[in-house]
Structures are given as C-alpha cells and as structure tokens.
Amino acid sequence: MNCQDITRLLDDGDIGSMTKRERSEVEAHLFACPDCAADWKVHQRLVEGFAPPMPAGLTERARALVAAGVTVDTRRSPRRAMLFGTMLVVAAAAALLTFWRSDPVEIPAVVEAPAPPPAARSVVESPGVAPPSVAPAVEVQAPERAAGPHRVLVPSLRMAGGDATAYPEEQRFRRVVIEKLRTVPNLVVLDPQTDEGDLRAEYEIRITLTAPDPMAPLGPAITIDPRTPAAFAALDKVIAAEAKMNAEEYQRSREERAIEESERRRSSIRPGNLFLSPGRYFPRSLFLGFPPAPAGAPDQVESQASRLVNDLRVQFLPLDISLEADLLAVLRDAAQKESVRMLALGDLVSIRERHGGLQAADAVMAAGAALASAARTLEREMIWAALASSGSPELVPHLSRALESAPQIDTRLQIVRILSADFSGDSRAREALELASRQNQQQVVRMAALRELGARSKWNEYVVATLNDASLTPMQRLQPIADMAPPDLIAATSSVQSEIQLSDQEIRGMAGLIISAARDNSPEGASRKAATQAVKALGPVGGPVVLDALIDIMYTPFDIEPPGFARAAIGTIKQAARDAIARNFVADPKARALIKALVGSPDLALGGLPAQSAWLLMEGRANQEAVNKQRESPPPRQP
C-alpha cells in the first residue's frame, strides 16, 4: 500500500466497506505517512456523514431579516467593514476547526451576544453614523477537546510454540495489569472477547511469553510491547515480509530494525534520566519471581504489575494530570526512601520529555533541588543531571543558589557545566556564571566559570599550573583536569581532542598523581573519583607517553585490603585506563595488541565481556575511520 493506492481509494473507493485485511494495510501506511493520514481523516469523516448541526433558530432569524428588508448603510467606515470581514474569517476558521475535530462532538447552539449598555459607545461605530437595525452579532465557540476516554486493549497471552494457559502466574500477571489499568483516569480497557479491539482500540499492549530455558529455571520470560494498532500492523507486515527472505536478508533486516529501535530510544532519552530509570523503556522483558522476594515483601506479581502500569502511563499512554500530582507528592515526601523519590523524579523528567511539559514545573524543580541538597555525593550528581536533562528554565534559579551554597566542589563544578551547556541562552545562567567567576570561594570553580564564559586559555594555564603545584594534595592537583573528562556517552561514541598541552614529564607526573589518589581513602571516595575522571581526560591528550602512562595505571598493583568498595573503585580506575586506550589509540598497533589480549584474560577487573566490548569499540572506530578517509579522498582520475 503506497500513497497512490491511498489516493485511488479516496477518489474511487468506498472506505467504509473495506475488508479487515485492506484496513490493516491502510493503517500500516497511514502510520508511516502523515500526509495520507490527514487526507484519510477528512474523507473518513465525510463517509461517516458527520456535519455540524444547524444552530437552533437560525433559519427563522434569517427569514425574519429577509422579510424585514434589512439594508446596510454604504457610508460605513472602512474600519468597520474590515472588522466585519475579519469576524467572517474567524467564524469560517472556527467552522473549519470544528469540522476537522477527530472526535465527533455536539456543537453548541449559537448564542446571541448581549446588547451593550445604552450609555456605552460600540468600538465598531463610526462617528455620526447610526448603526443598522440588524440582529446582534453572534459568536461561535468550539468547546475544548475532551481528553478521552482513551481505549486500550490487552490481548490474551501469546506464546510461540507453547501453551500460554499452562502458566497460571503469568496469566494472573495479565489480569492484575488489566485491573490496575482500569483504575487509570480516562482509560477504558476493552475486552478482547466481546469488543472488536483491533478496530476500536487506540492503544494495544501485547504480552508474550518465551519458553523457559531448562538450564535456568526462572520461568518464561514475559515481554511487554505497547504500540498503536497501526504500528502493530506495520510491524506484522515487516515480519511477514521477513518470512519470505533468505537467511542473509533476514539477518540484515533484523539488524536494521534493532538499530532503528536503539536509535529511537537513544534520541528519546537524555543522559541524565538514564541513571534514574534504567531498563524501564519498551519493549521490555521480565521474569516473575526474579530476583527472589525476601520474606514479608509484597507480592511479586502485584509489584511488577504496578511498576509496569506506572511506566506505561509515563512513557506510552496519554498523560493524565493526576499522575504528575502523585509523583510530585512522592518527590516532596521526606519520609520516603531516597531511591523512591529519585524514581519519582525520573518519571517526572520523562513526562516532560514525552508529553512536552509539566503542569507544575517550578514545584518539580524546587523539590528536585531540595532532594539533591540532601542526597549523598553520587546520588546528588545523578539528581542534578536528571534535572538538567529536563531543560526546564525553572531550574536556573535553583542552580544559581546551589552554585554558591553547595558544600562539595564537585557539585559546584557540575553546576557550572550544566549552566553553560543546558542553559546557554538564558541570561540568568550567564549572570550566575559571571558572579561565580568573581566571587566563588573556590578557585577551581572561579576558573571553571571563566572557562565557560570564554577564557579557555586562562583555564588551560591554570590546569597545568595546578598539576605542577607540589603544595597541593594529589586530589587537588588532579581536580581541574578531571573536570575536563568527556561525559561517558560522548566518550563512548566519539574521539574528544584535548586542548591541554602537557610535556612528557608532566604526563608521567600526572600518572603518578592518579596512582597516589587511587590509594587515598578520602571520605566518599572523592580522591578515587578524581583519579578516574583524570584518566578519562588524559586519554585524549594522545601520544606514546600517554599510552605508556595508561598501561602503567592498568597494571599497577594496589593491594587494597579488605576487599570491598575500595577494591571496586580501584577496578573502575583500571577499567577507565583500558577504555581510554581503546577510544583514543584505535590505530596504534601496541594498543590494539594489548586490548585484544585482554579479551581472553582471566583478570576480573580488565578481562571478560568488558574487554570484549572495548575491542569491538576499537574495531568499529577503526572501520569507521577507514570509511571516512575513503569518503574524503578524491576519486581516482579516469584515464
């Protein structure tokens, strides 16, 4: 089905008498083509016979005017004629808007406007001209579109190559999901047995089972896939086409679909929210009873269904205002666990991204800022990142206050980056940076603010001078350059060139500072965090001395006892060095041999799957660079 077929159907066919198969093909095309969808909606309304009802009494009033022989004074001013014409245009536009409504609604009767008081002069009268004796002007106002009720269908469980009825807990899970969906305002859950759900539903939530693995007795995997019926029709069409492909074409089609799905998710999620709501996007899979619930914990079916319905309301279904109010109440409740409040904040940020705004954005930003000020270091950074990912201008005053009052330097440096990167066009953000560049108590914060205001050469000089200042602790000496580490998502996908120029001696000295900071047991791991970030910033400097320094960091024995958080933090520093090599030394034979050897290494910190991922990243970057070089090179001359 293509655009020409749709045009032919609209011109020649009766769209009201299509077969179910034809309707599915049409819906699949309309889902992908907005122009055809708009034309189809107009024609469908014509087929359904929809027309606005004639206002009551209009015929009688028109006949009375004709019988009275009403005339219009030709001496009226041009201004009055223009205003009357404008009223006609507005009335015509209102009628068109009413006709284009997607839901049939009852048009209210035309109401006569009350006559103005006798002492008041009408603004449309011309001086010295008596108004014609016509009926008072009338005004048509279309009612606001009702937000629902929206229809959703949850079909019976499906299981490829198996009997879904053999799994009672999974069946109960579907029933509980339906029960909870029925409590959502403005939502009607259709019965797949009695309702023509595939034709009437606006949204469909498919729950499918995958046969359990005999080697891992967790029960069947439950996959939840919510889409519109038109999207499912398009997907089913693709799957049917794949069934006719050969093995190579089928694999390529599946890979392309996986890439498209990955890109869709990446484009719809900003980095700050990833840490607050991991694995809560669709389609998703889960196992009932895994992980095992401790004694006295809520029923797994109930808790999993509650979480699922909440995420459907946030990510998929039309927004209802009560959800935002409930989440804001949880965010404000100091008696709730910090993790629960963070999840509520993540949901509110997702609502703003998915639905285009928040009703109480200022209240959400204020509550989020209050949560950040009371949280621990790691959680505080995630909260500020999530708030920044919302892009809400109401956050700027809270950031400005935290820039001056936050007790941790790391938090102030993070806020400097947020004000510059996420609110560069906001004058309030620039004023906060200018104030911090002059008056902030911490020199590193003052210099970072100057950097974001454009004084990058002064910042670079400050970074090198601080690295060489032996009167400071290793963490203090590393902190400025650690602040230059590229964000993880950027570092994982692109090469970031450093602006810092370091001598070979300074690079070796920096590697020694990183090792010293890794051995420091400062509160909340601040030194090790600075060491990890400094490793990430060192990689883009490049050169053989940097490569040797990263290798030294990887293989330095630390002998941290007892094992625990400190050992894990050391492992993180070593992994950062390995990944910095993979990202910044793609074409270096020594680096390639090192990373490839780690793939089969028994070293738990450096080998295994993370090493394999680093190698695949290196190979992918090398292939991409080769393709780019080939594209940039001029074509060979033809003889």
160 in Cβ contact with 208 (< 8 Å): yes
163-214 pLDDT per residue, tens: 888 888 889 999 999 999 999 988 888 877 665 545 578 899 999 988 776 6
Residue 148 has a pLDDT of 62
Quote the CA–CA distance of 399 and 396 in Å, as a whole number.
5
Residue 52 has a pLDDT of 45
Element (H, E) at 203: strand 203-210
- Helix boundaries (H) for 48-77: 58-68
CA 21 to the chain's CA centroid: 35
CA distances from 583 to 116, 490, 586, 616, 638 (A): 76, 11, 6, 11, 38
250-298 pLDDT per residue, tens: 887 877 777 776 666 555 545 444 445 545 667 888 888 655 666 666 7
- Cα–Cα nearest to 181, from 283, 348, 317, 289: 317
358-384: average pLDDT: 87
Lowest mean pLDDT among 134-138, 323-327, 578-582: 134-138
Residue 71 has a pLDDT of 47
Q: E strands within 228-273?
A: none
Q: Interhelix angle for 300-315 vs 168-181, to 10°?
A: 50
Phi, psi (deg, nearest 5) at residue 475:
-65, -45
322-331: average pLDDT: 92
Per the model's pLDDT, the better-predicted residue between 191 and 159 turns out to be 159
Residue 140 has pLDDT above 50, yes or no: no
399 in Cβ contact with 429 (< 8 Å): yes
* Mean pLDDT score across all residues of the chain: 74
Q: How far apart are the first and last CA of the chain?
A: 46
Residue 249 has a pLDDT of 83
Quote the CA–CA distance of 152 and 189 in Å, as a whole number.
5
552-564 pLDDT per residue, tens: 998 888 765 545 5
> Is beta strand 203-210 parallel, antiparallel or unpaired with respect to 111-112?
unpaired
Q: What is the identity of the amino acid at 376?
A: R
Reported confidence tier of residue 55, pLDDT bands at 50, 70, 90: low
585-614 pLDDT per residue, tens: 888 999 989 888 888 787 767 887 778 878
532-558: average pLDDT: 88
442-456: average pLDDT: 91
Quote the CA–CA distance of 90 and 378 in Å, as a whole number.
56
Residue 137 has a pLDDT of 34
Residue 1 has pLDDT above 70, yes or no: no
515-537: average pLDDT: 82
Prediction pTM value: 0.63
Instruction: List all residues 6 or more positions away from 505 whose beta carbon is below 8 Å from its beta carbon.
Output: none
Element (H, E) at 35: helix 34-47
Quote the CA–CA distance of 309 and 305 in Å, as a whole number.
6
Phi, psi (deg, nearest 5) at residue 153:
-120, 135
Reported confidence tier of residue 243, pLDDT bands at 50, 70, 90: confident
- Cα–Cα nearest to 373, from 406, 417, 410, 404: 406
180 in Cβ contact with 135 (< 8 Å): no
Quote the CA–CA distance of 404 and 70 in Å, as a whole number.
73
Say which DSSP state 189 is in: E
Per the model's pLDDT, the better-predicted residue between 573 and 49 turns out to be 573
465 in Cβ contact with 521 (< 8 Å): no
Residue 283 has a pLDDT of 81
Residue 548 has a pLDDT of 93
107-130 pLDDT per residue, tens: 333 333 334 334 333 333 333 333
Q: What is the identity of the amino acid at 352?
A: R
Say which DSSP state 493 is in: T
149 prior amide bond cis, ω within 30: yes
Quote the CA–CA distance of 376 and 362 in Å, as a whole number.
23
The Cβ of residue 511 has, within 10 Å, a number of other Cβ atoms equal to 23
Residue 42 has a pLDDT of 56
483-489: average pLDDT: 68
332 in Cβ contact with 242 (< 8 Å): no
Percent over 90 (pLDDT), the chain: 19
Per the model's pLDDT, the better-predicted residue between 461 and 36 turns out to be 461
- Cα–Cα nearest to 181, from 190, 168, 171: 190
161 in Cβ contact with 208 (< 8 Å): no
